[in-house]
Structure formats: C-alpha cells, structure tokens
C-alpha cells in the first residue's frame, strides 16, 4: 500500500525564520509526482510546490524549496523568510497512477 507520513503534527516559528516540514512516503512505482499543498483557514487547497520523481533537481518556488531524496523516499519542504501569511495546514501528497495519497498534515504557525 502507498502511504504518506508527516511526523510533525504542529510547528511554530517566528516571522522571518526558516522552517522545514518533513514528509516520508512509500510507493513501489518509479514514476510519480509529489506535491506540497497549503490549506489556510479559508479552507482553499493551494499548490505550493511540485516535484517530478524522475527529476533529480530539487524544485524551488520563490521562498519555498524541497529536499527530494528518492532512495530514502523523503520529501521535505523548506520555507525561507517565513511570513504571517504562511500560517496554514501543509499537506504532503503523493500522486501515483493519478491517485492522490495524502499525509495527515502539519499545522504551521508563524508568530509575529
């Protein structure tokens, strides 16, 4: 069975600090995508960053970057210069054969 595990239920950091959210996954597939989605209190599900498994280069989107370790099946998200608007639930998601497997989420709180 394919699984996604987020071991940090909740994290909090000061504004402007850097924070890393952890994610491990398990799949027997060789081709897949990994995503980080952000869900603020508004409930909207927002794509933060995407990683294709066959690409060795780690994806980056402005202040957001990932550390993708395919052999270790690890996919962590780093948020640099954190902002108050980054406060949200963050979900690590595995897309394998067009089926999304979701982690339980990490609640991230950015303190002023």
93 binds another protein (CB under 8 A): yes
DSSP character at residue 78: E
Q: Which is nearer to another protein, 59 or 79 (CB)?
A: 59
At closest approach, how far in Å is the CB of 47 from another protein?
Answer: 6
Cβ(39)–Cβ(27) under 8 Å?
Answer: no
41 binds another protein (CB under 8 A): no
Q: Nearest Cα to 48, choosing from 66, 31, 72, 67?
A: 66
Please choose, out of 21-29, 40-48, 64-72, 77-85, the segment that lies near another protein by the rule CB under 8 A.
Answer: 40-48
How many of the chain's residues bind another protein (CB under 8 A)? 20
Build a one-symbol-per-residue string for 42-81: x at contacts with another protein by CB under 8 A, - elsewhere: xxxx-x--x-x-----------------------------
Q: For binding to another protein (CB under 8 A), which residues are involved?
A: 4, 33, 35, 42-45, 47, 50, 52, 91, 93, 95, 98-100, 102-105
């Amino acid at each position: 069975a394919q699984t996604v595990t987020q071991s940090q239920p909740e994290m909090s950091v000061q504004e402007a600090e850097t924070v890393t959210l952890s994610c491990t996954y398990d799949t027997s597939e060789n081709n897949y995508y990994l995503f980080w989605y952000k869900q603020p209190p508004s409930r909207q599900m927002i794509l933060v960053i995407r990683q294709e498994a066959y690409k060795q280069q780690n994806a980056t989107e402005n202040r957001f970057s990932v550390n993708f370790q395919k052999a270790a099946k690890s996919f962590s998200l780093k948020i640099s210069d954190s902002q108050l608007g980054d406060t949200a639930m963050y979900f690590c998601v595995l897309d394998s054969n067009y089926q999304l497997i979701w982690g339980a989420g990490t609640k991230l709180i950015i303190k002023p």
